[in-house]
Structure 1
Amino acid sequence: MENGAVLANEGEFTDDLYSEAVILIDSKSGKVLYEKNSQQQMYPASITKIITGILAIEEGHLSDTVTVSQKAREVIGTRVYLLEGEEVELKKLVQGLLISSGNDAGLAIAEHISGSETAFADNMTRFVKETVGVEDTNFTNPHGLFDERHYTTAYDMAKISMYAMKNETFREIVSTKELPWVGEGWETTIYNHNRMLWNYEGATGIKNGYVQKSGYTLVTSVEKGETELLAVTLNAPSSNHAYRDMNRLFDYGFEHFETKMISKDEVFEDLFGNEYTLAEDMYITTKKDEIVFLDVSIYGYLKVIGTQNQLVGIRGLQRIEDQYTQNSPRFLASVGRIN
């Protein structure tokens, strides 16, 4: 995720936000569009379950049968009312965790995957640091109940959430509005606690949270056309304030920015006839309706230049065929533009 120049810090977004820490990013390019205190360590509450869920999906077997322990049965806070000794499929526990925010489902997952809550928390911290690549996060439990050593930042949560949303199973679960739940101790329909799924067009997930010492926390993604934005708000004074902030961020983001894709199938050629391609599709964030120019260097880089001659993005290229000699002059050749 790009954490360089923040596009929004040009006087366009002047709305006051209630949340103590905030970040808005383009999910595809990783560009930061707005931030406030995004590197400040905060308490996440139940958005912790994003990591628990993606770990269960990636490191567990969703068809596994999990036996609920007494400890999981007795965990405090929001629950899906599992009973001690109840046997539940792992995927169902992940659904109860992410849709209905079940703390008991989170602890049952942790004990199944790693043998204990402590071992799973260590695994969570290792995973987000080594696999996702964040630095300012530490977990002590799978559900987000308060602990002074259980913390993250808005920036880290955005990066973690971007990673999780690339997994189609995770993505499907966090976008589910309601689901029939039939258990030994509870038969009902569970409803997703993230109201953005109902209240904001294009919302695709992902999780809300609250404990007294963390305030109200919220992570949401919204997709419109080719653009998908993701926002994190931490320590809002009320649920309504958190949702108000989230709405303002997305309204601003979609009004001012859009995502453009440069295909890996496109062939780029410099003035000497050398041909290149990208290893994978490249996503860039631009101001709405901005035209950008593509420059290819015989050193093997594609530069995306904005209308004010600013560097929008840069990516290494793969040479299709070596056609130039060592004595060829080396300079940038403009090859086109995208609208």
Structure 2
Amino acid sequence: MGTRHVAPVGVLLAATAFLGAPAQAGARAPGTPAGTAPGAAPGTSPGIAALPGTGSQAAGTGSRGAGPSGTGPLGPNGAGEPVGGSRLGERGLIVPSGVKAPPKTAARAYVIADAGTGAVLAAKDAHGRYLPASTLKALTALTLIPRLDKSRKVTPSRRAVNEEGSAVGLVPKPLYTVEDLFKALLLVSGNDSAMALAEANGGLTATLADMNAEARRLQAFDTVARTPSGLDKPGQSSSAYDLALIARAGLANPDFRRYISLKTDKFPAPKGYYEIGNHNKLLWRYKGMIGVKNGWTSKAQGSFVGAARRNGHTIIVSIMRHDGYFWDEVADLLDWGFANRGRVTPVGRLVDPAPAVTPSPIAPATPAPPAVPAPVAATDPPGAARPAGGNVPIGYYVLGAGLLGGLAWLAYGLRRRFR
């Protein structure tokens, strides 16, 4: 090979060595298999994220599975002790020491509480999650009463009119006010009224979102609403503890309290009106009964949450999953509550609603100064690329390669000449 060929070959080899090296910011970590995208877990195909595990547990058997957002009997994200106190996490009967246990009941779960102080006087499987049936309508009412104008006229849809189960007998005509629908919801447990109220609130999806947000506000973390009526649906649940929380919050609302206390009322009809009567039997025969809500489906069985007031004190009793006639048993539990309130050490407490979060005032944003492009060295060739993470233009590498090749050619030529 002649001397004149050495310089071009040297320049070519040097330039190839310098320019062939990759310049990338996201180099693969040691031990990561080839073909894995930067930042992806080993073995994960590019563009496919690993999905978190999912699972569900049906309510109705006293399940303790986590609810939405990881909630459960331990509160948000399963942190800390059970809501209301550590003893309320127990599954069996929880009774204060030194007193006789409450009368027996066939209910799978119950809570006896003092509405005024929030003291839980006795309980059984307080946080067990069961199907709530129509006791869920107490949450529907508590959620929607502040949101809807009670004098507003409503025309129920065909879907609302045809809801299955208990109904007040709506027709798709503008005969009803929102207040009429609340009365039908809480007196005769109208599933058609529940759907009509949901439609008046912007639709089923919006109403369920509002109901679940209200449950979170009350810290009723065992409660998940999937229908406004309480008709059984997968994933729907509540607990005896949560029903007591909901009832206590409802008693503080004058309209809620007025509706649940009505024994009878007149309901609009295409030709006049007809009379409706409250399904809560204790309103008719238990001294001091304020009311709230009962429920039943074949899957949920019997459920009830109610409140009564005597001698300036209000007792709340909630029961879930009772397989028969429960009215006398509820009356006995109320009697036990009145006899023992103020005399026993509570086994837990009904927590207050979570405080509202007030957003901090946001200062007006200061406009950022315009970005000034970084100066480019005069020796950079136009459009020269820079390696990620470095500031040296590739043009410098090319220039260096050429110089090295030239020096090699000069040295070789001088050596041949002196020989």
TM-score, length-normalised on structure 1? 0.72
- Alignment-derived partner of residue 48 in structure 1: 136
Q: Residue type of the partner of 1:54?
A: L
Counterparts of 2:271 and 2:222, CA distance in 1: 39
- Alignment-derived partner of residue 118 in structure 2: 30
Select between 176-185 and 18-27 the one with higher mean Cα deviation: 176-185
**In the alignment, which of 157, 174, 185 is matched to residue 260 of structure 2?**
174
Q: What is the count of residue pairs matched by the alignment?
A: 258
| Ranges of 4+ aligned residues in structure 1 off by more than 4 Å | 4-7
**In the alignment, which of 343, 347, 355 is matched to residue 287 of structure 1?**
343
**In the alignment, which of 100, 105, 113 is matched to residue 17 of structure 1?**
105
Larger relative strand fraction:
1
SS at the partner of 2:111? Answer: strand
- Alignment-derived partner of residue 204 in structure 2: 117
Deviation at 1:5, TM superposition (A): 6.0
Kindly report which structure 2 residues correspond to 1:222-261, keeping only aligned pairs within 5 A, or say none. 222-238=308-324, 240=325, 242-257=326-341
Deviation at 1:245, TM superposition (A): 2.1
Counterparts of 1:140 and 1:253, CA distance in 2: 32
C-alpha RMSD of the superposition: 2.0
- Alignment-derived partner of residue 153 in structure 2: 65
TM-score, length-normalised on structure 2? 0.59
- Alignment-derived partner of residue 374 in structure 2: none
Identity %: 26
**In the alignment, which of 134, 155, 164 is matched to residue 76 of structure 1?**
164
Deviation at 1:2, TM superposition (A): 4.6
Deviation at 1:178, TM superposition (A): 0.6
Gap change, CA 1:83 and 1:136, over 3 Å in 2? same
- Alignment-derived partner of residue 247 in structure 2: 161
Kindly report which structure 2 residues correspond to 1:80-91, keeping only aligned pairs within 5 A, or say none. 80-91=168-179
Deviation at 1:204, TM superposition (A): 0.3
Deviation at 1:119, TM superposition (A): 2.3
Residues 1:134 and 2:190 aligned together: no
**C-alpha offsets along residues 245-274 of structure 1, whole Å, 9 cap, x if unaligned?**
2112111111222xxxxxxxxxxxxxxxxx
Residues 1:152 and 2:250 aligned together: no
SS at the partner of 2:145? Answer: helix
Structure with larger RCO (C-alpha < 8 A, sep 6+): 2
Deviation at 1:117, TM superposition (A): 1.5
Gap change, CA 1:44 and 1:66, over 3 Å in 2? same
Gap change, CA 1:182 and 1:85, over 3 Å in 2? closer
**C-alpha offsets along residues 194-213 of structure 1, whole Å, 9 cap, x if unaligned?**
00111210000111111100
Counterparts of 2:267 and 2:261, CA distance in 1: 16
SS at the partner of 1:287? Answer: coil
Counterparts of 1:209 and 1:186, CA distance in 2: 29
Counterparts of 2:305 and 2:271, CA distance in 1: 30
